[in-house]
Structure 1
Amino acid sequence: MAVLGVLVAAVAGLLLVLLVLPAATARLAPFLWQDLAFFATMVGSGLRCRRRLGRRPPVTLLDVFRQHARERPRQPLLRFQDAIYTFEDMERASNRAAWALWRRLGLRGGLTVAVFLPNEPAYVWTWLALAKLGCAMACLNVNVRGRALLPQVPTCPGAHPRLPQVSRVPAELREAVEEVLPDLQRDGVRVFYLSSASPTPGVEALLGDIEAAPDEPPPAWHRAGVTGDSRAMYIYTSGTTGLPKAAVITELKLLMVASLGRICGLRPDDVVYTTLPLYHSAGLLVGVGGCLDVGATCVLRSKFSASQFWSDCRRYNVTVIQYVGELMRYLCNTPQRPDDREHGVRMALGNGMRAEVWKEFLRRFGPVAVCEFYGATEGNAGFINYTGKVGSIGRANWFLKRDEPVRDKRGLCIRVPPGETGLLVVKITRNTPFHGYAGDSQKTEKKILRDVLAKGDVYFNSGDLLMMDSERFMYFQDRVGDTFRWKGENVATTEVEATLALVSFIQEVNVYGVAVPGCEGRCGMAAMCLKAGAAFDGDKLYAFTRETLPSYAAPRFVRIQLTGTFKQCKTNLVREGFDPGAIRDRLFFRDDARRSYVPLTPQIFAAIQDMKLSL
């Protein structure tokens, strides 16, 4: 409390000085008032979260949701298609699911349950049900198939080997589960469908038990051991160092990320529209979690549709939209309509929007307040653009000061001056902890930098290159390492190369990202040399990549090179792209309709260039 008192006194003194010298303040520090207001908001949010979790028993995000359910039971929490789910509806649905999971499976606090679901209300009440039992939820990416899915399910951290784990899947994901079911059963993983009956031998149905369960809350002792440091969930992040890893989300981090919406101005009367996948933190923690925090309504859509986006906003009276950069570009690429500005959206909350798209979005769709933020699921800090500076991810606030050191040739660190690009690292402290990746100490260690500015200090390595201008605005520049971003996911090329090297006819392979008109990020391409006497088999390669790689990581283009000086500079490969008119090597295109890699003809290339062929 003494520290807090000193802080309040210091801020009060600063305010007095600023009131006396307003002209000098505006000239010397034009963003000082905004910096100070944001600093106060951040301090207040952090204190609120820590104060809640410091109570006995602690008040978690689940408890905040349940308080809204008691005080405003008829307030809509979720809207999905034509259905409305109030806070009370979701409270009762999650109670029934918790009872069923406890009675049928013996779930108890400390276990982890894997959830394999698309965007639908069941995702939310399953999350709440598991939280009521003191169980952590592992959010599996629904785009992952075959062998790429296996490492995520059996090793969900914290699961007792003698007790079941649950992978709940709707009918449309049945094929994906059946592909790996024998392996799951061999590892002792029980799988359940959210249905009244199961069409798959060896998979049990759970819906009947849920519907028959009582709707009063399960016993409070299930959560008796929960603290701010307890693991609430695991989100598989597609980072720069390989295949998806289970990032640890504690109860404190869950509460703090959910408060991002409140920090940006989210209100209880807002209607938030999200088409982002719930297996990632933006959709689940910022979108749904933000609504749980303030008591707002979330409109959930199973998948993004550019043609239906604004119609949905009008239909549901949406006031806040969530985005990633690709989504905004798709909206700006749609044909202009007379009703482009006929909507009630006041704020857009998201990340990854480039300056040119930002400007076009505002021109097309009106004066929407864009709240761009930067952060990583596993990261220990981030930025928020609270001034509305187009293209910026936020400011290096004078009050919330951060260091961005980079290594020099001697292994020491220097701070990057304004205007230069540097690696963003954030000091790991008690207030900015890094919990790492569950069950993988080696990958956790790779994200840590030691002895950065002083002997013994420890920093989180974001893997991102940022630039700060003379006004301290921050701009995302690129990712370090051999990675590119596609469909909102990070693709580690070394991992894709290692996977493709297992194909019988491939001798060597280079994987990289190429620019595609109308698309955000880079599209995957593989340049490969074949083994002596071997022939390229497009059907076989398609089947292999579908089984072993997530859909976003499977290369869309293939280039067959005849010589193998092979590991030529990827910069040249990236620059040459995939134009069959300019490249003599044979080129192939991943055709999902034919389930094969087919020759990349001038006609296919033209359709991609004219944005008539969707990737």
Structure 2
Amino acid sequence: MALLERARSELAYLGAAYRILGRLKPVAKNKSRTFPDVLNDLADKHGNRVALISSQQSLTYRQLLERSNQYAHWAIGQGIGKGDTVAVMLTASPEYLAVWMGIIRVGAVAALLNTNQTGQALAYSINIVNARLVVTDEAMLPAIEEAMPLVDAQTPVWAMGGGNGTHQALDPAVDAMPTSALTADRLPDLTIEDPALYIYTSGTTGMPKAAIINHYRIQAIMGGFSAVCNAKETDRIYVAQPLYHTAGGVLAPGIALMAGGSCFIRDRFSARQFWDDIVEYECTMFQYIGELCRYLLNAPPNPNETRHKIRLCNGNGLRPDIWEAFKTRFQIPQILEWYAATEGNVTLFNVDGRPGSVGRIPKWLEHRFMTKIVRFDMGSETPVRNADGFCVECEPGEIGEAIGKILIDPNAPAQRFDGYADRQATERKILRDVFEKGDAWFRTGDLLKKDRLGYFFFIDRIGDTFRWKGENVATSQVSEAVAVFPGIHDANVYGVEVPGHDGRAGMAALTVEGEIDLDRFHAHVEKQLPAYARPLFLRLRREADMTTTFKQRKVDLRREGFDPDQVQDALFFNDQKAGRFRPIDKALHDDIVAGEVRL
């Protein structure tokens, strides 16, 4: 790196670090100022400025506060208070944020349910947080009704839009509530340590885990990312990601809100509509995932793709092979790639635009952002320990697991880890006695490497989780849903790479006896699993490989993929257009690899 370029990079990171820590430290030290207090102040300061907008609805800062107050009054009327949980499963809109902002105002926790979930997984997500109520809308009612018989408690369902007549109508009940603030005697005693949201995430194994997002973390996410984006009142950020994810529902709106700007919310991503929206609604920033960028790059030219006012886009997963092409074609002044996890304490920012990197921690910042990459044994899927029993930090260029030191200290606010609703799940994410006796580090479950200049690069997920369509897929959850189908003795689920696509597509190696009805199996998969988790490829086998361990064999299966030249077993493709599994021959395989078949 040239001397001048290095100096510019150092200045960029110095400025970003100064802004981030300037936001985080006061939050960590003022324990009584929770997010509702922040919203009150924002409404006082920015009143009639637009805060949230969509093609259907617009809320100013004052209206957002007042609408959240109505939800708070409604929640109290239903007996909801501090420590209770309300499950929220709604279509993306400005109203979505007003709902959870009102719920947390009374001291309750809003559990943001994944709108793709169905059946057992959805019921599990409701059960694990002991939800007292479910808030939904007409679009989500079928999934909620299917899951409710599996929910442990008799949980009332309130539906926007009137529902189907069998559930209580939410709109008129909330509309009848006052827009004024709660009186002092109805305000809960809250601190930044109190939980505010549950956001579901798939770790290395198992069903979805409810990550605890407390009042500190909401402010830290919103304030920290707003600072690093250097957001201003004049900014409007475009988000077409799910609002039940941290990135779409907390981080992106927070970038704008914390600066007095605005956030445009699109209910779902459309490559055709994207640039027209950006221009029509005068957006200056947008949020991305790598797959979104690929879709845009593969889309036909749109006259608006260079007529925009975009100054910055931020997100994660923009891979090196399309980075420069994306920036050049769409004339994006700054790409801010980052690495973070909903529940984690490892956050990296690429503030100087190094293509392909997820960020850098300069030497002089390592005491503030304590992140290491440790050697990792791919066979046992555990960090390597030396003769003294401690972990070993990777050399530059060496791939290992990224970990972050856990501290609850106002002077090191970025190092917190607040865990999950499930204490056992929390403990599984903690690595102890790492570099010295008694220390504790958060396990990201991700493989990264760092070059000699300190830039980090994402390599892959570890173990039994893969990422597809912007969602983490836990293979054990898919295996459980698949293996109950008649005739299947074993289901080995894993992710395989598909050229031209980000993440890994789901594939299941099924050990079967006799013939199975693939049409019925396709219907079973459609019913039991959300779209992103349904296996895209099948491999039918007569017996499981018993000569090696399960995890070792999975490595071989991933490598062989869905290539009929590599695999002797019968292979099938989940043709979503035809609604069935099609046999994979050489021609179909080549079409999929060439991008001729839409996945």
With normalisation by structure 2, the TM-score equals 0.90
Q: Distance in 2 between matches of 1:28 and 1:84?
A: 44
Q: Distance in 1 between matches of 2:425 and 2:33?
A: 32
Q: Distance in 2 between matches of 1:344 and 1:575?
A: 43
Q: Distance in 2 between matches of 1:423 and 1:585?
A: 34
1:194 to 2:160 alignment: yes
- Corresponding residue for residue 194 of structure 2: 230
Moved more, 427-436 or 63-72: 63-72
What pairs up with 1:412-491 in 2 under 5 angstroms?
A: 412-431=390-409, 432-438=415-421, 440-491=422-473
What pairs up with 1:171-186 in 2 under 5 angstroms?
A: 171-184=138-151
Q: Distance in 2 between matches of 1:276 and 1:150?
A: 23
Q: Distance in 2 between matches of 1:120 and 1:38?
A: 30
Q: Is the 8 A contact 2:128 2:210 kept in 1?
A: no
> Which of 506, 509, 520 in structure 2 is aligned with 1:524?
506
Q: Distance in 1 between matches of 2:231 and 2:596?
A: 37
Q: Is the 8 A contact 2:71 2:174 kept in 1?
A: yes
SS at match of 1:357: helix
1:565 to 2:545 alignment: yes
- Corresponding residue for residue 273 of structure 1: 238
SS at match of 2:520: helix
Q: 1:61 is matched by which residue type in structure 2?
A: F
Q: Deviations over 1:462-487 (max 9, x none)?
A: 11111111111111112222322111
SS at match of 1:249: strand
Q: Is the 8 A contact 1:538 1:598 kept in 2?
A: no
Q: Distance in 1 between matches of 2:125 and 2:582?
A: 31
Shift of 1:582: 6.4
SS at match of 2:539: strand
Distance 1:399 1:220, change over 3 A: farther
- Corresponding residue for residue 340 of structure 1: 305
Structure 2: runs of 5+ lacking an equivalent: 376-383, 410-414
Shift of 1:255: 0.4
Q: Is the 8 A contact 1:588 1:598 kept in 2?
A: yes
Q: Deviations over 1:257-305 (max 9, x none)?
A: 0111222211121010000101000011111222332221100000011
- Corresponding residue for residue 614 of structure 1: 598
What pairs up with 1:559-598 in 2 under 5 angstroms?
A: 559-565=539-545, 569-579=553-563, 583-592=567-576, 595-598=579-582
Shift of 1:452: 0.7
Moved more, 207-216 or 487-496: 487-496
Which structure has the larger Rg over C-alpha atoms? 1
> Which of 94, 110, 114 in structure 2 is aligned with 1:141?
114
Shift of 1:553: 1.6
Distance 1:28 1:524, change over 3 A: closer
1:253 to 2:217 alignment: yes
> Which of 114, 118, 125 in structure 1 is aligned with 2:91?
118
Q: Deviations over 1:116-162 (max 9, x none)?
A: 112112211101111221211101000011111111112315x5xxx
Q: Is the 8 A contact 2:33 2:192 kept in 1?
A: no
SS at match of 1:476: strand
Q: Is the 8 A contact 2:33 2:191 kept in 1?
A: no
> Which of 239, 245, 253 in structure 1 is aligned with 2:203?
239
1:168 to 2:152 alignment: no
Q: Distance in 2 between matches of 1:335 and 1:369?
A: 23
Distance 1:367 1:101, change over 3 A: closer
Shift of 1:453: 0.6
Q: 1:590 is matched by which residue type in structure 2?
A: N
Q: Distance in 2 between matches of 1:193 and 1:284?
A: 20
Shift of 1:94: 1.9
Count matched residues.
Answer: 575
Shift of 1:584: 4.5
Q: Deviations over 1:395-422 (max 9, x none)?
A: 1222221333332353322221212122
> Which of 120, 126, 129 in structure 1 is aligned with 2:102?
129
Distance 1:246 1:30, change over 3 A: same
Q: Is the 8 A contact 2:297 2:326 kept in 1?
A: yes
Shift of 1:171: 1.1
Shift of 1:499: 3.5
Q: Is the 8 A contact 1:145 1:546 kept in 2?
A: no
> Which of 363, 369, 372 in structure 2 is aligned with 1:398?
363
Q: 1:378 is matched by which residue type in structure 2?
A: E
Distance 1:582 1:36, change over 3 A: closer
Q: Distance in 2 between matches of 1:499 and 1:82?
A: 37
Q: 2:460 is matched by which residue type in structure 1?
A: D
SS at match of 2:404: strand
- Corresponding residue for residue 378 of structure 2: none
- Corresponding residue for residue 262 of structure 1: 227
- Corresponding residue for residue 520 of structure 2: 540
> Which of 10, 33, 36 in structure 1 is aligned with 2:11?
33
Q: Is the 8 A contact 2:91 2:139 kept in 1?
A: no
SS at match of 1:236: strand
Shift of 1:573: 2.8
Q: Is the 8 A contact 2:257 2:263 kept in 1?
A: no
Q: Is the 8 A contact 1:64 1:292 kept in 2?
A: no
Q: Distance in 1 between matches of 2:519 and 2:144?
A: 22
1:152 to 2:125 alignment: yes
- Corresponding residue for residue 40 of structure 2: 66
- Corresponding residue for residue 4 of structure 1: none
1:408 to 2:388 alignment: no
Q: Distance in 2 between matches of 1:236 and 1:182?
A: 21
Shift of 1:543: 3.5
Shift of 1:222: 4.0
Q: 2:488 is matched by which residue type in structure 1?
A: I
Q: Distance in 2 between matches of 1:112 and 1:308?
A: 36
Q: 1:525 is matched by which residue type in structure 2?
A: M
What pairs up with 1:308-327 in 2 under 5 angstroms?
A: 308-327=273-292
SS at match of 1:552: helix
Shift of 1:85: 1.9
Distance 1:339 1:39, change over 3 A: closer
Q: Is the 8 A contact 2:121 2:208 kept in 1?
A: no
> Which of 554, 558, 563 in structure 1 is aligned with 2:534?
554
Q: 2:15 is matched by which residue type in structure 1?
A: A
Q: Is the 8 A contact 2:241 2:269 kept in 1?
A: yes
Q: 2:40 is matched by which residue type in structure 1?
A: R
With normalisation by structure 1, the TM-score equals 0.88
Shift of 1:601: 6.2
Q: Is the 8 A contact 2:75 2:81 kept in 1?
A: no
SS at match of 1:491: strand
Q: 2:524 is matched by which residue type in structure 1?
A: F
Q: Distance in 1 between matches of 2:301 and 2:109?
A: 45
